[in-house]
Amino acid sequence: MKTRMLGNSGLDVSALGLGCMGMSWSYGAPGDPQEMAALLHAAVERGVTFFDTAEVYGPHANEELLGAALAPFKGKVVIATKFGWAPAPGDGAGWNALNSRPEHIRTVIEGSLRRLKVDAIDLYYQHRVDPQVPIEEVAGAVKDLVAAGKVKHFGLSEANAETIRRAHAVHPVAALQSEYSLWWREPEAEILPLLEELGIGFVPFSPLGKGFLTGKIDASTTFGADDFRSTVPRFAADHRDANLALVDVVTRFAAQKGVTPGQIALAWLLAKKPWIVPIPGTTKLHRLEENIGGASVELTAQDVAELEAVSSRVKVEGARYPAFHEKLVGR
């Protein structure tokens, strides 16, 4: 697989990464650890060098999975993880409290280093902006960890333009990770121009719209209570029929190119900017191979313009997050 540089950071990764959250958390029951380890090995064998996890996925289980499975490839792969969540004290609701205080960051990185079996975190993202902690303090804490040799690159997730600029002034931000796809194009307004100005890479998560853009979800699809999508308004029955019109557009375009809808969705992202590296997630080998195939689909500028023109006519219905999580993004 071809590689890409995340902005001006010097961080060279495969053109497509692998989002690993669903292997342990959020999309139904966790995968079998041995099967997931085999999938991670298969990804490396097929040229994937960029793997995404977080302390909160599991929690901890996903970092442990990657640490064990990717240990044989130390120095050959890039692992990104995230900090910024903490157990909510006493309310029984689990990990739903933000904490990006510098002392917390200095503590939790030790657990991530141990679970990932590495000496330094390749890319360390603030998972969500913490309104209780000035971003300058967060960036300063990570800067200290870089100086200590425990972090190589600093990243942000779902931050707004002002926050990105303020953080970057303290310590270079190598990459922003936020949702971006044909189903959610909001980053094009302010975020992409800013990233280009500052030389910051962009790592779109949910580049396939949490599976929606693959064409495998229809009006009859149901989601279990342990599947995050059961809480997402865009997947609700009263919105899904309208949103399937977008899938129809992508499916027709894919048929013209002789590829799958998911491959078109990924190829579109790769065609947007050379410093964009999507991280589709999967727990299935055949889907991994399909996604990797998307990196070989070449779209011309005319293709991109045509796809955007037609897809823009579809009015997407429903919020992309439940109300609680909507408050945590774009800050």
Active site residues: 57
How many CB atoms neighbour CB 206 within 10 A?
A: 21
> Are the C-beta atoms of residues 4 and 202 closer than 8 Å to each other?
no
DSSP 26: S
> Are the C-beta atoms of residues 181 and 261 closer than 8 Å to each other?
no
Query: In sequence order, what DSSP letters do the residues of 165-225 get, joined into one string?
Result: HHHHHHS-EEEEEEE-BTTB-GGGTTHHHHHHHHTBEEEEESTTTTTGGGT---TT----T
| Cα(211)–Cα(91) distance, integer angstroms | 32
| Cα(32)–Cα(53) distance, integer angstroms | 17
| Cα(222)–Cα(144) distance, integer angstroms | 46
> Are the C-beta atoms of residues 162 and 169 closer than 8 Å to each other?
no
State how beta strands 50-52 and 97-98 pair.
unpaired
| Cα(292)–Cα(270) distance, integer angstroms | 12
C-alpha dihedral, 40 to 42 to 48 to 50, nearest 10°? 10
The phi and psi torsions of 209 (rounded to 5 degrees) equal: 60, 45
Q: Which two tokens stand for residue 37?
A: 């380890």
